[in-house]
Chains A and B, each alone.
Chain A
Amino acid sequence: MADKQFKKKISDALDNNVLRGALGRFGDTYITAREKAYEGYDFPSIRENIVKVKSYAASHLDEMIDQFEKAATARGAKVFRAATGEDVKKYISELAKRQGVKHIVKSKSMASEEILLNKALMAEGIDVQETDLGEWILQLAGQHPSHMVMPAIHMTKEEVADIFSGHLQRLSQPVITELVKTARVELRKKFLEADMGISGANMAIAETGTLMMVTNEGNARLTSTLPRVHVFLVGIEKLVPKFEDATHILQALPRSATAQQITSYVTMVTGPTPAYYEDGSVKDKEFHIILMDNGRRKMYNDPKFKKTFQCIRCASCLNVCPAFQLVGGHVYGHIYTGGIGTILTNFLNSENDAKNPQNLCLQCGKCAEVCPGNLDIPEMILELRNRMGEKQGLPFTQKFALDVVSNRRLFHSLLRVASKAQKPFTKGQPVIRHLPLFLSGMTEKKSLPAVADIPFRDVFKTIKQDVKKPKGKIAFYSGCLIDFVYPRIGEGVISALNEKGYEVVFPEGQSCCGAPATYMGDRTNARKLAIMNIEALNAESVDYVVSACPTCTHALKDSFQELVEDDPGLAARAAELSRKSFDFSKLLSDLGGLEPGGDGVPLKVTYHDSCHLKRKMGVYAEQRKLLSDTAGVELIEMKESDRCCGFAGSYSIKFPELSEPILERKLNNIEATRAKVVAVDCPGCLMQISGGLDKRNPNIKVVHTAELLFEKRKKNSKKN
């Protein structure tokens, strides 16, 4: 759970308008700029190629390192394998001593940040200069980078000018071109006097011993041209098998990182190159390559985290992250920031340092969609969360709530009690303050919808299904929200499937899908619920299992299988369930959609994509077609329709300060369409968005696709 100090950091970051301005502006333009940069290129196939070469390197790591060392040594390089950051520091400071080095220039190296190399070298009395503009600013300011690609994105030109003024003892004006000029002049001196250069690399080619750097400013070129000693500090994850393999990464890295077709410079160094020595002679440099482990192998040896080797450090996962966009990098507390940074921190630094930041992940999956290394970062973060949950246990309130949820009888009878008890507070308004324990019993700030008078499981018994000669049988899995809060959605589901000629059953033994437990890192309760539902739904006895909540569908399709994989009997049943489970819109559209219909009354509708439905299941066209095929419905697309609404299960309760601005943005996009109705396919999104609209613009209604179809297609419907 997020501790107090961490919360404080978040609120400081949120109060920092500069940061929010810079990050916001960038985040707004990044997505379209990136798409434009990839125009005419097939991102999925570039990504596939990257995965191919990187995963090969990951599973032949020793071979790669040996090959690289052999090739680089053959070209005259000295290669050193460093197990830890301490080894690196020792090696470089001894080398510097041996070579009589006084001035070092560095081009960007996150690996050196990771081990705090500068500090160690400066302690030896050596002058160390960062030369990447952003890094240099941070060095002068005594700060860490907040972003892997744009280290100083959190600072304004005014702040930079102040730092320069202080450092140079003369006034710098806050004019960006002037500041850049100042940096050029100041750093030029440093380049010319430096006797050692230290660089990072974006790739290390095993076949040829080549190091590649992808940069814009030209500092990497100068660092590898001027000083007579050159050291490359390279994490072992940079290895790529063959020279031509670099092509794929060069195709993706600039486009994903800064939306450029290619950076101003790509520099490839193979072995020592000639340099000028002080006496004016030209000779080969003293050339060293350090391959650093520092916790990486442990990460790649862990089957759940092996894929991190495929990361090319483009930082696009940060750029699209709704949480990162609000709080920036420094909240993450260490060198590597954002989702991928949290994972790296966990292994390269310590589990303890990852404990707080892992909470920031909304599990919206936007990062996985754009990642050129095809990493499922949210899954990995969840895995971290689970491991932490198992090790440290959850706080009492959460644990208690999750224990209650996984006890079906107790949970359901509490919900029934809640439905009665809330009466005096709702005053006829379908909104109350305190509700479902399945949201972990910590709700305070947020207004939530009321528990329905009659849960769907009771409504179901009163529905007359008029299906002549049924084509088959479908089990409906309602999930908690539809069962106890939004039973109308269930009615819509049944009516549509009846129309397709299927009889729908409601297995009574079903209970919560376990998502709250899963997302809070409580695998024990999640497993308990998985088994309960696998048994209750008895997939073997029906043609399909349908759910109208994508989070539940994801559980039915994927999580259950994972949770019971150690038990062959259950695993087989889970696989059967997975195969037969569909989300409502997907199933309905697979079954051929509905006959033409609809009341024809004009209604402007906009659509919000649920993170799980769009990205876990790839369903986004189906429901749009169902809706726009309904007479009367005019579908208007909103901006960023697939951007998370900020609900993310218990997130809105854990971090209302983040969930709210994320929701805010969604509401702005909704209002801009002037639609009267927002259609959604997820009851969680429904609850979040209508909670927000309720306060701001109660004229706009949020309706589940199933319910909207139901209402619009009702015979002789009275319009309202």
Chain B
Amino acid sequence: MANARSAELYDGFKAKLEAVSGECYRVETEEEAGKLIGTILKDKGVQNVALLEGEVSKKGNFAQQLKFMNIDVMSDNFRKVTPDAQAGITQVSYAIAELGTLVQADDDANVDQRLCSTLVPIHVAVIRTEKLLPSLAETMSTIHRLPRIPGFVGFITGPSRTSDIERVLTIGVHGPQQLIVVFVD
């Protein structure tokens, strides 16, 4: 993969995400991703996390690494645990550089993906760098080209927000207050 191209897309994504109060990181390996996430969560004082295992988290031994850092890891029974979990970790399908947007498009419309990313105050999204798409238009056609359009496709751009009272922007309403994105090369 052309590195210059992915660096450009990544930089674009990062700038856009930070403009809407999201945090953005990039690491080389799955292992490093787990470590970084542990450090970030510790820093934020997080003691437990709902982890929806994905291909990256498994390879990177997220569960073990986090436990090692004294963070409680819950990886099933999500309907029960997510309402009180302090953070959630999921792997998402795509990212759109043009907008700083994450795309959840699991082919089975996994309900746990949504619980772990919506009910928790901090959402950590893991994604493969190669899944970065340049634009909204390309993302739409990529989704449409899938064998079938997933039952649930969610675009996420930054934490949840409202300006419903006096037009003053407030971060964190029904969804997460913080969004952390970790790209894994």
A184 contacts chain B at the CB level, 8 A cutoff = yes
B101 contacts chain A at the CB level, 8 A cutoff = yes
The segment out of A148-156, A333-341, A427-435, A673-681 that lies at the interface is A148-156
In Å, the complex CA distance between A635 and B163 comes to 39
In Å, the complex CA distance between A132 and B162 comes to 9
User: Do residues B173 and A184 form an inter-chain contact, with CB atoms below 8 A?
Assistant: yes
- Map CB proximity to B onto A123-148 as digits: 1 under 8 Å, 0 otherwise: 00000000111100100000000000
Interface residues of B in 154-180 (CB under 8 A from A): 154-168, 170, 172-176
User: Do residues A264 and B167 form an inter-chain contact, with CB atoms below 8 A?
Assistant: no
In Å, the complex CA distance between A131 and B173 comes to 10
A394 contacts chain B at the CB level, 8 A cutoff = no
User: Of the candidates A153, A176, A261, A270, which one forms a contact with B170 in the assembled complex, judged by CB atoms under 8 Å apart?
Assistant: A176
User: Do residues A150 and B164 form an inter-chain contact, with CB atoms below 8 A?
Assistant: yes
B149 contacts chain A at the CB level, 8 A cutoff = yes
A17 to chain B, nearest CB (A): 13
B2 CB contacts on chain A under 8 angstroms: none
A188 CB contacts on chain B under 8 angstroms: 83, 119, 174
Interface residues of A in 543-558 (CB under 8 A from B): none
**Max chain B CB contacts within 10 Å: which of A151, A160, A192, A266?**
A266
B165 CB contacts on chain A under 8 angstroms: 133-134, 137, 152, 155, 157, 160, 176, 179-180
In Å, the complex CA distance between A222 and B79 comes to 12
User: Do residues B175 and A244 form an inter-chain contact, with CB atoms below 8 A?
Assistant: no
User: Of the candidates B144, B167, B170, B174, which one forms a contact with A26 in the assembled complex, judged by CB atoms under 8 Å apart?
Assistant: B167
Which DSSP category, helix, strand, loop or mixed, fits chain B's interface?
loop
User: Given A150-B167, A266-B155 in contact, is the A218-B173 Cβ separation under 8 Å?
Assistant: yes
The segment out of B40-48, B51-59, B63-71, B106-114 that lies at the interface is B106-114
Report the nearest A residue to B174, measured CB to CB. A218
User: Do residues B152 and A244 form an inter-chain contact, with CB atoms below 8 A?
Assistant: no
A250 CB contacts on chain B under 8 angstroms: 136, 140
B7 to chain A, nearest CB (A): 20
In Å, the complex CA distance between A137 and B174 comes to 15
The segment out of A275-283, A302-310, A471-479, A480-488 that lies at the interface is A275-283
A663 to chain B, nearest CB (A): 26
In Å, the complex CA distance between A264 and B140 comes to 17
In Å, the complex CA distance between A27 and B80 comes to 44
Interface residues contributed by chain A, number (CB under 8 Å) = 62
A425 contacts chain B at the CB level, 8 A cutoff = no
Report the nearest B residue to A212, measured CB to CB. B153
User: Of the candidates A131, A266, A270, A275, which one forms a contact with B149 in the assembled complex, judged by CB atoms under 8 Å apart?
Assistant: A270
A268 contacts chain B at the CB level, 8 A cutoff = yes
B137 contacts chain A at the CB level, 8 A cutoff = yes
User: Of the candidates A176, A261, A264, A272, which one forms a contact with B168 in the assembled complex, judged by CB atoms under 8 Å apart?
Assistant: A176
User: Of the candidates A251, A264, A269, A274, which one forms a contact with B159 in the assembled complex, judged by CB atoms under 8 Å apart?
Assistant: A264
In Å, the complex CA distance between A346 and B100 comes to 41
User: Do residues A265 and B156 form an inter-chain contact, with CB atoms below 8 A?
Assistant: yes
In Å, the complex CA distance between A285 and B78 comes to 17
A350 contacts chain B at the CB level, 8 A cutoff = no
A241 to chain B, nearest CB (A): 13
In Å, the complex CA distance between A216 and B176 comes to 11
In Å, the complex CA distance between A151 and B162 comes to 12
B3 contacts chain A at the CB level, 8 A cutoff = no
User: Do residues A270 and B150 form an inter-chain contact, with CB atoms below 8 A?
Assistant: yes
User: Do residues B101 and A262 form an inter-chain contact, with CB atoms below 8 A?
Assistant: yes
A210 contacts chain B at the CB level, 8 A cutoff = yes
User: Do residues B157 and A219 form an inter-chain contact, with CB atoms below 8 A?
Assistant: no
B164 CB contacts on chain A under 8 angstroms: 132-134, 137, 150-152, 217
B87 to chain A, nearest CB (A): 16
User: Do residues A225 and B115 form an inter-chain contact, with CB atoms below 8 A?
Assistant: yes
Report the nearest A residue to B168, measured CB to CB. A176
A386 contacts chain B at the CB level, 8 A cutoff = no
Report the nearest A residue to B83, measured CB to CB. A192
User: Do residues B16 and A268 form an inter-chain contact, with CB atoms below 8 A?
Assistant: no
User: Do residues A244 and B137 form an inter-chain contact, with CB atoms below 8 A?
Assistant: yes
A157 CB contacts on chain B under 8 angstroms: 165-166
- Map CB proximity to A onto B138-151 as digits: 1 under 8 Å, 0 otherwise: 00110110000111
B159 CB contacts on chain A under 8 angstroms: 264
A219 CB contacts on chain B under 8 angstroms: 173-174
Cβ-Cβ contact count across A and B, 8 Å cutoff? 164
Report the nearest A residue to B79, measured CB to CB. A276
In Å, the complex CA distance between A184 and B173 comes to 6
B20 CB contacts on chain A under 8 angstroms: 261, 264
A187 contacts chain B at the CB level, 8 A cutoff = yes
A268 CB contacts on chain B under 8 angstroms: 149, 152-155
**Max chain B CB contacts within 10 Å: which of A187, A192, A225?**
A225
A153 CB contacts on chain B under 8 angstroms: 167
A266 CB contacts on chain B under 8 angstroms: 101, 154-155
B99 contacts chain A at the CB level, 8 A cutoff = yes
B90 CB contacts on chain A under 8 angstroms: none
**Max chain A CB contacts within 10 Å: which of B118, B153, B156, B173?**
B173
A200 contacts chain B at the CB level, 8 A cutoff = no
User: Do residues B175 and A258 form an inter-chain contact, with CB atoms below 8 A?
Assistant: no
User: Do residues B174 and A243 form an inter-chain contact, with CB atoms below 8 A?
Assistant: no
User: Do residues A150 and B163 form an inter-chain contact, with CB atoms below 8 A?
Assistant: yes
User: Do residues B161 and A216 form an inter-chain contact, with CB atoms below 8 A?
Assistant: yes
User: Do residues A269 and B152 form an inter-chain contact, with CB atoms below 8 A?
Assistant: yes
A422 contacts chain B at the CB level, 8 A cutoff = no
Report the nearest A residue to B155, measured CB to CB. A266
User: Do residues B118 and A218 form an inter-chain contact, with CB atoms below 8 A?
Assistant: yes
**Max chain B CB contacts within 10 Å: which of A132, A160, A221, A247?**
A221
Report the nearest B residue to A274, measured CB to CB. B111
B108 CB contacts on chain A under 8 angstroms: 274
User: Do residues B140 and A247 form an inter-chain contact, with CB atoms below 8 A?
Assistant: yes
User: Do residues A262 and B167 form an inter-chain contact, with CB atoms below 8 A?
Assistant: no
- Map CB proximity to B onto A485-512 as digits: 1 under 8 Å, 0 otherwise: 0000000000000000000000000000
User: Do residues A265 and B175 form an inter-chain contact, with CB atoms below 8 A?
Assistant: yes
Report the nearest B residue to A221, measured CB to CB. B118
A150 CB contacts on chain B under 8 angstroms: 163-164, 167
User: Do residues A133 and B173 form an inter-chain contact, with CB atoms below 8 A?
Assistant: yes
User: Given A176-B166, A274-B110, A280-B79 in contact, is the A264-B136 Cβ separation under 8 Å?
Assistant: no
User: Do residues B157 and A269 form an inter-chain contact, with CB atoms below 8 A?
Assistant: no
A48 to chain B, nearest CB (A): 15
B105 to chain A, nearest CB (A): 9
**Max chain A CB contacts within 10 Å: which of B109, B162, B167?**
B162
A183 contacts chain B at the CB level, 8 A cutoff = yes
User: Of the candidates B140, B152, B172, which one forms a contact with A246 in the assembled complex, judged by CB atoms under 8 Å apart?
Assistant: B140
Report the nearest A residue to B150, measured CB to CB. A270
User: Of the candidates B109, B143, B162, which one forms a contact with A216 in the assembled complex, judged by CB atoms under 8 Å apart?
Assistant: B162
A221 CB contacts on chain B under 8 angstroms: 114, 118, 154, 174-175
Report the nearest A residue to B167, measured CB to CB. A26
A141 to chain B, nearest CB (A): 13
A251 CB contacts on chain B under 8 angstroms: 136
User: Do residues A225 and B170 form an inter-chain contact, with CB atoms below 8 A?
Assistant: no
A208 contacts chain B at the CB level, 8 A cutoff = yes
User: Do residues A264 and B161 form an inter-chain contact, with CB atoms below 8 A?
Assistant: yes
A699 CB contacts on chain B under 8 angstroms: none
Report the nearest B residue to A243, measured CB to CB. B144
In the A-B complex, the 5 residue pairs with the closest CB atoms? A218-B175, A134-B164, A266-B155, A218-B160, A218-B174
Can you give 28 contacting A-B residue pairs, CB < 8 Å? A132-B164, A133-B164, A134-B165, A137-B165, A151-B164, A155-B165, A177-B170, A184-B172, A184-B174, A217-B175, A225-B118, A243-B140, A247-B140, A258-B163, A263-B157, A264-B158, A264-B159, A264-B161, A265-B155, A266-B101, A266-B154, A266-B155, A267-B153, A268-B153, A270-B149, A270-B151, A275-B111, A282-B111
Known contacts A153-B167, A225-B118; 10 additional CB pairs below 8 A are A155-B165, A176-B170, A192-B83, A217-B173, A218-B173, A218-B176, A222-B119, A262-B99, A272-B151, A273-B109
